[in-house]
Structure 1
Amino acid sequence: MLQSVNLRDYILTNPVKVRATDNIFDAMQVIIDNKISGVCVVDDLGNLVGILSELDCLRAALSAIYNEGGIGEVRDYMASDNLVVAHPDEDIVDVAQDMLMKNKRRRPVVENGKLVGQITCRQLLTAVRSFRS
């Protein structure tokens, strides 16, 4: 059975990130190169300002084709309203349950406004495996 532990013990401490001013094609390449389904978007001070997913990128690409225009910046397509984040001292079980309830594969981890990591389903599975009886 999974024991209650701090999220800090399982977060990815250096998640892949992009800037809101990056070209969306460059961000797509980052996602493809790192074989991930999305990235955290930060400002110059390391503050989390959004999340960009593969679906956001696909939406951007199709929009550019449909509108026969430029594709724009990450800020034009990222999710930035009502971002759900975790604190590194939260209980991993509570975070896992909330991620399941909201059907989210990742959650940025923020401390004092700064992005300090990310928790993903893979890290949660690692935690479950390590506490297996």
Structure 2
Amino acid sequence: MLNSVELKDYMLRNPIKVNLNDDLFVAIDRIVANKVSGVCVVDDENNLVGMLSEVDCLGAILTARYNQETSVGPVSGVMTRDVYCVSPNADIVDVAQEMLQRGFRRCPVVEKGKLVGQITCRQLLNGVQTFSQKTA
């Protein structure tokens, strides 16, 4: 069905991202405004340093409220640090299989440590659909 196709042909080239030093509510605003379930977290040089999901945000808010804290702090205190990422030259089928196996909805695309894109289940489906239409 789907032969080898490079990920760069279907990835989002400008994923929604936040800086690791941003206040968590800045990240929440970005997630809500862009209607996404999570964002990539980068440092000042655009190096990928983590991922932040809406579940991470909700957990941090509830924890802060439970502990009667006045702030939730920066993104760096809540984000997931050990992130599975892929190269823009990766095979789209291999990435899809890995994401399915790990239960991921999105995966950052990194080149030389720098965030260059993101692949999501929607982009993967688009790749399959486009390829199917070309071969039909």
TM over 0.5: yes
TM score, norm. by length of structure 2: 0.95
Aligned residues: percent identity?
58
- CA distance in 2 between partners of 1:104 and 1:77 (Å): 18
Two-structure CA RMSD over aligned residues (Å): 0.7
For residue 64 of structure 1, report the CA deviation from its aligned partner: 1.3
Give the distance between the partners of 2:72 and 2:118, measured in 1 at CA: 27
Quote the offset at 1:26 in angstroms: 1.1
State how far apart, in whole Å, the 1-side matches of 2:26 and 2:111 are. Answer: 27
What is the CA-CA distance between 1:40 and the residue it aligns to?
Answer: 0.2
Counterpart residue type for residue 38 of structure 1: G
TM-score with structure 1 length normalisation?
A: 0.97
Mean CA deviation greater in 97-106 or 2-11: 2-11
Q: Deviations over 1:30-83 (max 9, x none)?
A: 0000000000000110100000001000011101110110211100100002x1
Match in the other structure for 2:41: 41
**Which string of whole-angstrom CA distances, capped at 9 and with x for unpartnered residues, describes residues 74-114 of structure 1?**
00100002x11000001000000000000000000000110
Secondary structure of the equivalent of 2:117? strand
The number of residue pairs the alignment matches comes to 132
| Rounded Cα–Cα distance in structure 2 between residues aligned with 1:131 and 1:15 | 23
Secondary structure in 1 aligned to 2:3?
coil
